Chain A
Amino acid sequence: MRRFLLITTALVYSHCILAQDVKTGEDESTVVLDNLNLGIDAGDASVTFKVNSLSLDKKEKNGSYKGKKLFWGLTAEGKNNEGVASIFSSSQIVPASRVTGMLGFSWVDDVYVDSLATVYETNVFEADDKYNKEFKLLTATLVVEIETIISDSVDALIGRENANLGALNKLKSLATDDNRVGLSPVEKLLKEMVEDTSLDNSTRLLSAQLLKSLFTRNPEYKRFMELDKLKKKAISDYDVKVGENYGRSTFFIHYSNSAVSYNTFLGWDSTNLANSFKSNTFRGISMGIGFNRDWKGKNFLGFKYTYEETNNLAALRTTDYVVRTNNVAANQTGTTEIKKTAYPNQFQNVFLHNIDLDVLQKFDFDDKYRVLVDYYVRINASTDNEKLPSFATVGVSSSFYNAKKGRFIGGVYVEVPDLNQDIERSKPRDQQELEPLYRRLSFGIYTKFSFTGLSDDLL
């Protein structure tokens, strides 16, 4: 019931779901994306909080572009083998958790930054030059004309009874002021006078006529405005035309701490069966480096190396045990029942060299849907094949998004876990169950509920 309620709640909040995660079958992609979200993975019974400062590149209106950035990232993950709903239960302790810190540097190709500047020059500066050249012609004739008309009109009105001398003199002195830069202060004052209800109607009417005749009918002024528009259009075009040479590289180091609580079965203790179990906590660290490459915002390469201290729990099978104690008093019997899920007492620490490789491609369909296809390889090279054999996994996953709103719709994956069947081969020969490749193909569907409030549209 709890699980049902949780998923229902997630669906209610689906209007704010954004998915910044690209998932592979069991794992996540090595490509670092802008992130700030809380994700609930129903299939994996885990809750993840992710944040990083790798915001998207912003082009500024004056053509400058910040192509380099130092960034940090933090991921906290809690996982529960009992199911996702019980993570939120106050009486349960999350049995597995991991905190990962990341520090990296991301930079955009110089070619792209230079091409931005070139596009900016050819569009904006050319429009600007044109604007300035025609502007020179304008000043010679139009401005003198405007100054004369304003001055004469004001003089004619000043002679009238009840004239607003203060406002009219202000207009005249501004129109003839040598230190006035451009016509916009005059235009601004005329607009203010039109709207000023404290002025008499004659003054306001004159202001309106001057505005109309001088600033809208005058063909030179119109041209002036056209050039202004041309300049603004050049700036907006510049924003559109810059995607072709885009390339971005990201380098990062990462460090994480993980903890897992588990029970081991020591063998039945004949004096007290309840003592047959031992509670343990494993704490491990992992660290490594990673590299991402982005071509044109469409193709991505992700590489990550991790040296990991882990355990062989994944290779061990759990068994459910029940210890019943009968208490007899008078003619009555009471039963106490303790349930335990425990691993055999064969726990060992293992050190791994993990190499993760992803190639991502982005496809758009009708500007409505976007698909991220991730071809991935995961190599887990063990330092001690006796404790935990090395193995490799390959797969392809596809994540589907609503492109306009950036919503994650869902994903599918096809995977071959343990490509060479190394884990199987590590068993005694009579227990091995080797199977051909096509029979080991694993298919899956994944969903992840992500609650985001602060992040921009990534997709």
Chain B
Amino acid sequence: MEAFELLYNRHRGPLYRYILRQVGDAATANDLFQGSWEKIIKASGSYRPSAPFRAWMYRIAHNHVMDHFRRTRPVSDLPPDEIEADNPAPEKQLLDQQRSSELRKAVKQLPAEQKDALLLKLEAGLDLQTIANVTGVNRETAKSRLRYAVGKLKKALREQQTESSDD
């Protein structure tokens, strides 16, 4: 059990954020997070060390989230209040908050596959080949999705920078 706890503690944060930023609301993220771990625990007895644990774990979580999307599309367009900072902020913090908010908005607007690839890169820290393995596509497709996502986010950040320098 200590071994499992160690694994859980290593991955709980990034896996939670990967799910939360996919679905946008904490209640759904909590359900999916718990469901993912239940599946991981259930499948762990037949785990073979042919795949890295992290890739194996994210593949289970990815499939679980995709199943959820298949059942519940379209996703609510409400902003994810739960992940907003709620402490009053001085000017710099306000700017950071605006930036974060813009970034979240840009991520939210990404097509599901691009968002998935981006979150697997930024939250899970997976490399391109592993992202391809986890999402069940070839490396080129994963690369293309990631490139589009990064391009759009960069553009959003640039626009936001221009706006704040105009102000």
User: Is B one of A's binding partners?
Assistant: no
Q: List chain B positions with a Cβ less than 8 A from chain A.
A: none
Q: List chain A positions with a Cβ less than 8 A from chain B.
A: none
